[in-house]
Amino acid sequence: MRSRRSNLAVPGSNPKMLDKARGLPADQIFMDIEDAVAPLAKPDARKNIVAALNEGGYDGKVRTVRVNDWTTKWTYADVIEVVEGAGANLDCIMLPKVQTPEQIVALDLLLTQLEKSNGLEVGRLGIEAQIENAMGLINVNAIAAASPRVETIIFGPADFMASINMKSLIVGEQPPGYDVGDAYHYILMQILMAARAHDKLAIDGPYLAIKDLEGYKRVAGRSAALGFDGKWVLHPDQVAAANEVFSPRQEDYDHAELILDAYDYYTSAAGGARGAVMLGDEMIDEASRKMALVISSKGRAAGMARTSTFTPPEA
C-alpha cells in the first residue's frame, strides 16, 4: 500500500509551486486543473503539468493530476492531454465531484484506451474519487467498487458543505448552531466504510485556514482517529503536521510489531500452538493481531523503524 498521509495540492497554473513541491516531504502531490485553476488558465495548466511530470524530481511521491469533473466540457481533453503527454510519469487521475459509478467507469474506459495507444501497461493508472455532494455520498459504495483502478475515496468538504446547504463558510469547522457532536461524522464514516469494504484508502480533504496549524491538527486528528489514511495539505507548513497525525506514534508502532511477533511465536509449534496468550498485562488473540497489523502497515508504509524486538521466553 502506498502511503498517502499528506496529499499536497498544487495549482497546475503555477509553475513555481509545481517546482517547489519537488522538495517538500509530502507522500503525494496532486497537480490541479480543476477548482484552483481559472477557466481561462486551464489550457496552460495542462501544459505546465505535462512539462513538470516529464521533468521529474517527484521521486518517492505519488503523482496525481486532478482533472475537471464529467459535468464540465473539459474532462476528456484534460485526461487525454495529460496521459498522452506524461502517462509514463503519472500514477493517478483524481476525478472530482463523482456522483455515480458510471462516471468512474467512463474514466476507466478512457484510461484503458489511452494506455493501449501510448504503450503503457493497461491498468497502471489509478483513479482517486472525490465525494463532494449528496449524490456522490449516496452512491459511495458503488463508486468505490466501480473499478479496480480506484485507489482512494476522498472527502471534499468545501464543495460538500455547499452541496448540502450547510450553514457555515469555514471548511472543517463545525457550523454555528450545531452543538451536539461532529457535523461531519456521518459523511466521514460513510466514506470510510465504503473505502474499507473495498480495500481503498480513505482521505480527508482540505483545511483552508492555512495559518491555523493547531486547527489543522485538530481536524486531521479527528479523521485520523476514525481510521482515515491521510489528508490534503494546501501549504508547506501543513505537510509535517499531516505526516505526524497520520503516522502511528513510535510506541504504538513498536507495540504493534511486538504483538505480531509474539502472536506468530505463540501460535507456532515451538510456542505451544496457542490461540490466546498473555503478552505482559494484556491478552492477545487473532483480533489483536488484526488490529496490530493496521498500525504496523501504516508505520511500515511511512518508513518507520522499530526500536524494540520480541524475545521468546526460555523454554
User: Which residues contribute to the site for ligand GLV (CB under 6 A)?
Assistant: 96, 130, 132, 156-159, 205-206
When the beta carbons of 161 and 201 are compared against Mg ion, the nearer one is: 161
Return the number of the residue (235 or 300) whose C-beta is nearest ligand GLV: 235
205 binds, among ligand GLV, Mg ion, none (CB under 5 to 8 A by kind): ligand GLV
Question: 236 with 225: CB under 8 angstroms?
Answer: no
- Which residues are 3's β-sheet partners? none
Q: How far apart are CA 202 and CA 181, in angstroms?
A: 21
Which of 96/299 has CB closer to Mg ion?
96
Torsion sign over Cα 94, 95, 98, 104:
negative
d(CA 285, CA 276): 5
What is the distance between the alpha carbons of residues 239 and 1, in angstroms, rounded to a whole number? Answer: 20
Please state, in angstroms and rounded to a whole number, the distance separating the CA atoms of residues 36 and 9: 9
Output 136 or 205, the one with its CB closest to ligand GLV.
Answer: 205
Judge contact between 42 and 11, C-beta under 8 A.
no
Binding track over 141-170 against Mg ion, x by CB under 5 A: ---------------x--x-----------
**Closer to ligand GLV by Cβ: residue 58 or 232:** 232
Shortest distance, position 37 Cβ to Mg ion, whole Å: 12
Query: Smallest gap, in angstroms, from Cβ of residue 162 to Mg ion?
Result: 9
Q: How far is the CB of 96 from ligand GLV (least distance, A)?
A: 6
Q: What is each CA distance from 186 to 175, 178, 253, in whole angstroms?
A: 14, 14, 29
Residues 97 to 136 in contact with Mg ion, rule: CB under 5 A: 132
**Residues at the interface with Mg ion (CB under 5 A):** 132, 156, 159
